[in-house]
């Protein structure tokens, strides 16, 4: 059995890179060391101790994600949008003759399973409600826009798996999904733009207390974080479903898995 040269090259490359990475190991702080430069550094300590004063949001991760490093999060949302658009651009094509005929035959057989349909009819609203809870409670418990958005997207994927892709597309069409994903990014970037128009920097939520009722600058940060998380959830939900729809149907959006 001849060994392929690419495998030898790959093994050599892996050994070189692996030893390079391991050689730095002696320098690193021990696992779980609370006094390592990263853990006891100024930045981490500032976040942990000052988040309650500066943002009044208990979940430090959400505060850092949506406020201190909110700009990164906005671009992360754009990454998801780009991924959805990219997949659409690469694969989307009008259904060809053969798959239409197949879809007709498949529809005639009505392969929808009664147990699955009934179970999902009961489950999906609960899943979506839980997703909304995760989004709304991102300030107080692990959660936030990305997590809730993925759960929402998963509920639609479940619907598509059980009831068929075409039935789900009747409820959540491709146009709607694209529109909602754009709306999500607009909510996020638009909040930043409004902050700019009110005199602050981009995504400087403090100045929003001028238009949000009954808030002081610090609570304005907390509220604005919720608004941008909702925007993120819109985009993530739509794109997750769109990716599933396009990938499982080969771009034709006629019949799925």
Q: To which H or E segment does residue 163 belong? A: helix 145-163
Nearer to another protein, 77 or 155 (CB): 77
∠ CA 57-61-62, nearest 5°, is: 55
Are the beta carbons of 172 and 226 closer than 8 angstroms? no
For the chain, how far is it from start to end, CA to CA, in angstroms?
39
Are the beta carbons of 254 and 100 closer than 8 angstroms? yes
Are the beta carbons of 240 and 150 closer than 8 angstroms? yes
Are the beta carbons of 55 and 64 closer than 8 angstroms? no
Nearer to another protein, 15 or 117 (CB): 15
Minimum distance of another protein from residue 95's CB (angstroms): 13
Nearer to another protein, 120 or 205 (CB): 205
User: Tokens 């809730």 map to which residue?
Assistant: 148
d(CA 24, CA 7) in angstroms, rounded, equals 26
Minimum distance of another protein from residue 151's CB (angstroms): 14
Minimum distance of another protein from residue 108's CB (angstroms): 27
Q: Which two tokens stand for residue 107?
A: 């529809």
Nearer to another protein, 78 or 106 (CB): 78
Minimum distance of another protein from residue 194's CB (angstroms): 12
Q: Report CA 133 to chain centroid distance, whole Å.
A: 16
Contacts 24+ apart (CB under 8 A), 168-174: 168/245, 169/245, 169/253, 172/241, 174/88, 174/242, 174/245, 174/253
Nearer to another protein, 83 or 106 (CB): 83
Are the beta carbons of 59 and 139 closer than 8 angstroms? yes
Minimum distance of another protein from residue 115's CB (angstroms): 30
Minimum distance of another protein from residue 123's CB (angstroms): 24
Minimum distance of another protein from residue 35's CB (angstroms): 8
Nearer to another protein, 69 or 100 (CB): 69
Nearer to another protein, 91 or 95 (CB): 91
Q: To which H or E segment does residue 182 belong? A: helix 174-197
């Amino acid at each position: 059995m001849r060994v392929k040269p690419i495998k030898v090259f790959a093994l050599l490359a892996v050994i070189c890179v692996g030893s390079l990475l391991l050689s730095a190991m002696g320098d690193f702080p021990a696992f779980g060391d609370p006094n390592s430069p990263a853990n006891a550094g100024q930045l981490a300590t500032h976040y942990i101790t000052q988040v309650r004063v500066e943002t009044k949001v208990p979940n430090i991760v959400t505060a850092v994600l949506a406020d201190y490093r909110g700009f990164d999060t906005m671009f992360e949302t754009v990454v998801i949008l780009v991924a959805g658009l990219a997949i659409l651009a690469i694969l989307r094509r009008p259904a060809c003759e053969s798959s239409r005929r197949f879809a007709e035959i498949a529809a005639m057989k009505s392969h929808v399973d009664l147990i699955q349909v009934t179970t999902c009819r009961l489950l999906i609203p609960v899943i979506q409600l839980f997703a909304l809870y995760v989004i709304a409670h991102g300030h107080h418990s692990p959660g936030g826009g990305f997590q809730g958005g993925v759960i929402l997207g998963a509920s639609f994927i479940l619907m598509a798996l059980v009831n068929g892709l075409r039935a789900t597309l009747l409820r959540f069409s491709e146009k709607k999904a694209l529109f909602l994903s754009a709306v999500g990014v607009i909510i996020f970037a638009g909040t930043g733009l409004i902050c700019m128009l009110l005199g602050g920097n981009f995504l400087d939520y403090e100045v929003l207390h001028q238009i949000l009722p009954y808030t002081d600058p610090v609570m304005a940060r907390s509220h604005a974080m919720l608004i941008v998380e909702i925007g993120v959830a819109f985009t993530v939900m739509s794109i997750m479903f769109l990716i599933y729809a396009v990938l499982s149907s080969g771009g034709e959006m006629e019949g799925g898995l």
